[in-house]
Amino acid sequence: MSTDALRRIDALLQVGLRLARTAPNGRIVLAQIARSIDLEWIPRPAGDEIAAELEAAGAHTRDPLSPRAVERALRDAWGVKPSDELDELDPDPVAVTPTAQVHQGVLDGSPVAVKLLRPGLAASARQDLVLLDGLLGPLGTAFPGIDPRALIREFRERVLDELDLEHEASSQRRFHRALRSHPFLTVPAPVTRLTREGVLVSDWVDGVPISSAPDPDAAAARLLVFVVGAARFGVMHADPDLDDVLVLPDGRLAILDFGATRTVVPERVASVQAALDAFAADDAAGLGVALAKLGALPESEGAAVIEVARHILGELAGPGRARLDTPAVIGARDRLIAGPDPLVRLVLAGTLAPDDLWPARGIAQLYSLISRLGASGEWLELSRAALRDGWEAGA
């Protein structure tokens, strides 16, 4: 890696960390990052400071709202006392995240989940997002091939979507309807009449977290079908989380949270499928054509992508079953650190379309989740099948 490239990337990281430290909601961003990775993946001792900040941010944002604050927020949202709408509401949350918390309630005799956004979060986030303009210069300098203004605009729009629970309910209802007859995937129905910008009520689902799945390999494969297969449905889920995927007594997976989604167009999905098929076949020319069609890299880089990916990913990139867990991630990390130049050259030569930002986030978080499960599978073939067949893969 050239000294200049390293300096530019480091400058970008330092500006980003400074914004996260100083923005009122910066700790929430850091806490969300901490929820999506295993801190063991961060190289030490170079990453000690970052790991400590992520851990502290996670601890800081785990404090639940008081019962009085919950009642006040629901009254403000519904215009009446919560007891006028719900038969019961457990004052103790069943889940607390950096942005929201969930309570169990009873509505018309049936159990429901009541998700409540932290009061004032959306308004303060809008102010914080203005600070992202400070990344325009460092981002464009570090990665000359991208359009930093378009990427930051996309980031802002998607974050604001995540902080609008009415938007989430709309996405959730769409997934619920599409999957209501699926053999191994299900989504609880939202209760539209009680959903507001800061409150989302859904049917209650009983199950165990995917982290406690009796068969983690099968659960991981089914989650992959859901996330990757959604591309054929036209809407990508961009934030799969260990706490938001349940394994039901009959073995089906229930997906609970739909705040982070992004529409995708069939033409780009077809190009991604072509790229993955070419990679599997070691077809450098075909991969180059597909990457160029996506606008990600010049057509001439197909062979380099295959070489770099197979070296860093090892058996995870090949045919056959491979175990994706923390040792596998650390092994890939160490191979990258030992010889970063080829990958960095590709990253600096490439670009990322703004529309691909949230789908890329979803795929990264999917494989992060699977690695924390410690599951084995034919990941390349499962991904190809899900892109090709959508939610019918494995059915």
Read off the pLDDT of residues 166-199 as tens digits, 9 standing for 90 and up: 999 999 999 999 999 999 999 999 999 999 999 9
CB 381: neighbour CB atoms within 10 A? 14
CB distance 150 to 217 below 8 Å: no
Report, as an integer, the average pLDDT of 228-252: 95
DSSP structural state of residue 259:
S
- Collect all residues with Cβ–Cβ distance below 8 Å to 327 and sequence separation of at least 6: none
> Is 70 exceeded by the pLDDT of residue 370?
yes
Q: What is the average pLDDT across 337-344?
A: 89
Q: Which of 164, 165, 163, 189 is nearest to 175 (CA)?
A: 189
> At 350, is the secondary structure helix, strand, or coil?
coil
pLDDT at res. 105: 98
pLDDT of residue 268: 96
Q: Residue 7: pLDDT above 90?
A: no
Say what the pLDDT of residue 1 is. Answer: 46
Read off the pLDDT of each residue in 159-172 and give the average, rounded to a whole number.
95
What pLDDT, in 10s, does the model give residues 359-369?
999 999 999 99
Q: First-to-last CA distance in the chain?
A: 45
Complete DSSP assignment for 74-116: HHHHHSS-HHHH-SEE-SS-SEE-SSEEEEEEEETTEEEEEEE
What stretches of 121-215 show up as alpha helix (H) in DSSP?
121-129, 136-142, 148-162, 165-179
State the average pLDDT for the chain: 92
Identity at 316, one-letter amino acid code: L
The pLDDT score that the predictor gives to residue 395 is 67
| Whole-number Å distance between alpha carbons of 43 and 359 | 26
pLDDT category, 13, cuts 50, 70, 90?
A: confident
Mean pLDDT of 309-322: 94
Q: In three state form, how does the secondary structure of 218-248 look?
A: HHHHHHHHHHHHHHHHCEEECCCCHHHEEEC
Which range is most confident: 16-30, 38-52, 141-155, 190-204? Answer: 190-204
pTM tops 0.95: no
The pLDDT of residue 14 is 82
- What is the band of 85 on the pLDDT scale with cuts at 50, 70, 90? very high
Question: Residue 2: which pLDDT band, with cuts at 50, 70 and 90?
Answer: low
Q: What is the mean pLDDT of residues 117-139?
A: 88
Q: Which of 230-234, 265-269, 390-394 has the lowest mean pLDDT?
A: 390-394
More confident residue, 80 or 340: 80
Does the pLDDT value for residue 335 go beyond 50? yes
Q: Give the pLDDT confidence score for residue 365 in this predicted structure.
A: 95
For residues 80 and 55, the model is more confident at 80
The mean pLDDT of 101-126, rounded to a whole number, is 94
Is pLDDT at 294 greater than 90 in this prediction?
A: yes
Taking the C-alpha atoms of residue 163 and residue 125, their distance in angstroms, rounded to an integer, is 9
pLDDT tier, 344 (very low <50, low <70, confident <90, very high otherwise): confident
- Which of 16-25, 127-136, 184-193, 311-320 comes out lowest in average pLDDT? 16-25
Examine the pLDDT at 41 and tell me if it is beyond 80.
Answer: yes
- Please report the pLDDT score of residue 56 as a whole number: 82
